[in-house]
A = this chain, B = another copy of it.
């Protein structure tokens, strides 16, 4: 069985297209209780966006620096909305991957009873969500195009994954990523780079995922290593396309060792996804020799100093817990290592990988 994947319904790409937001929402504003929910990265509280919500809208500025999106956070947002205003016309996420995931998850949880915890997994959602629109302001995670809203719950870090998770609309405006601080510009862009490397050097590729992944890699190379590398308008354009294409490359492929470990690190230590990937990837030369070598050149080129010797302060319990989370992601390990993955990456081996950090 080949996957039948759901596309984003509508995509607008272009410098300044964020100004089309109000107009883009017009056709859905009559739906349900006739108000929109804006879920916005708290950064924009002090850096106002060129957009004015309508009087009836609900606006939440969310600080995503302290922790990754949680099931509890999504449940609470949903309860607040339904209790105070009823079912909205649409949910609009403006921010990075965490905000994209919260917006996607809230859209789904507005129409599915109970806690998001019950829906962590594939196709567990029963009802379509409300209309949801994503506006990425940091590029790299691919959350704007994926069918997953990754949430950390009491037991698992695992996505709400189904066709209805996919955005109805995205506005891809490269002008919005111009002000991303350099370190996050690097970590987040490297999420695309790393998942394209993991996608390429694994078992599940086909021509579709290779074509998308290779083009995303080529764009990352231009942005982070090319003669005009760095944060500039042309590279902001490229990085935004790389993020989209990197996400699409995963449609018929899978992430690998780095992401499997990264989920463990984030779940137990709360480390945010993109920097967790970078912290881990630097130590995976034996799995991805070319990718790690190029990644290190990129770090050097942009004077990025990644945290080292983290595991020195971790307890055995920490490491066991991280390894347990990581071990529970067999599709990533199988893609990376083949059918024999349980022999090649048992719990003890996974612990040894965490001790590298």
Point out residues on A near B: beta carbons under 8 Å: 1-17, 20, 24, 163, 169, 172, 174, 206-208, 211-212, 214-215, 218-219, 234, 237-238, 240-242, 245, 252
Write out the residue numbers on chain B whose beta carbons fall within 8 Å of the beta carbon of A234.
207
Name the CB-closest residue of B to A216: B211
Write out the residue numbers on chain B whose beta carbons fall within 8 Å of the beta carbon of A2.
12-14, 16-17, 20
Q: How far does the alpha carbon of A211 sit from the alpha carbon of B8 in the complex, in Å?
A: 18
Write out the residue numbers on chain B whose beta carbons fall within 8 Å of the beta carbon of A172.
208
Q: Is the CB of B252 within 8 A of A13?
A: yes
Name the CB-closest residue of B to A6: B10
Q: How far does the alpha carbon of A5 sit from the alpha carbon of B169 in the complex, in Å?
A: 10
Closest CB of chain B to A207's CB: distance in Å?
4
If A14-B252, A17-B2 touch, whether A207 touches B8 (CB-CB below 8 Å) is: no
Write out the residue numbers on chain B whose beta carbons fall within 8 Å of the beta carbon of A215.
211-212, 214-215
Write out the residue numbers on chain B whose beta carbons fall within 8 Å of the beta carbon of A20.
1-2, 4
Q: Is the CB of A8 within 8 A of B10?
A: no
Q: Is the CB of B10 within 8 A of A206?
A: no
* Interchain residue pairs A-B with the least CB separation, the first 7: A2-B14, A207-B237, A7-B7, A215-B215, A2-B17, A13-B208, A4-B12
Q: How far does the alpha carbon of A17 sit from the alpha carbon of B206 in the complex, in Å?
A: 13
Which one of A17, A163, A211, A241 has the greatest number of beta carbons of chain B within 10 Å?
A211
If A174-B207, A241-B207 touch, whether A9 touches B6 (CB-CB below 8 Å) is: yes
Name the CB-closest residue of B to A169: B4
Write out the residue numbers on chain B whose beta carbons fall within 8 Å of the beta carbon of A8.
7
Q: Is the CB of A241 within 8 A of B208?
A: yes
Name the CB-closest residue of B to A5: B11
Closest CB of chain B to A325's CB: distance in Å?
31
12 A-B residue pairings within 8 Å (CB atoms): A2-B13, A3-B12, A3-B14, A4-B24, A5-B12, A6-B9, A9-B9, A14-B208, A174-B207, A211-B242, A214-B218, A215-B215
Q: How far does the alpha carbon of A208 sit from the alpha carbon of B15 in the complex, in Å?
A: 11
Write out the residue numbers on chain B whose beta carbons fall within 8 Å of the beta carbon of A13.
2, 206-208, 252
If A5-B12, A14-B252 touch, whether A219 touches B211 (CB-CB below 8 Å) is: yes
Partner of A238, one of B1, B3, B9, B207: B207
Q: Is the CB of A7 within 8 A of B10?
A: yes
Q: Is the CB of B10 within 8 A of A237?
A: no
Write out the residue numbers on chain B whose beta carbons fall within 8 Å of the beta carbon of A17.
2
Q: Is the CB of B14 within 8 A of A10?
A: no
Name the CB-closest residue of B to A248: B11
Q: How far does the alpha carbon of A195 sit from the alpha carbon of B142 in the complex, in Å?
A: 28
Which one of A5, A13, A234, A245 has the greatest number of beta carbons of chain B within 10 Å?
A13
Q: How far does the alpha carbon of A342 sit from the alpha carbon of B120 in the complex, in Å?
A: 59
Which one of A1, A2, A15, A17 has the greatest number of beta carbons of chain B within 10 Å?
A2
Name the CB-closest residue of B to A3: B12
Write out the residue numbers on chain B whose beta carbons fall within 8 Å of the beta carbon of A211.
215, 219, 238, 241-242, 245
Write out the residue numbers on chain B whose beta carbons fall within 8 Å of the beta carbon of A240.
207
Name the CB-closest residue of B to A238: B207
If A9-B9, A13-B252, A211-B219 touch, whether A206 touches B237 (CB-CB below 8 Å) is: yes
- 5 A-B pairs besides A1-B20, A5-B11, A211-B215 with CB distance below 8 A are A6-B10, A13-B252, A206-B237, A207-B234, A207-B238
Write out the residue numbers on chain B whose beta carbons fall within 8 Å of the beta carbon of A218.
214
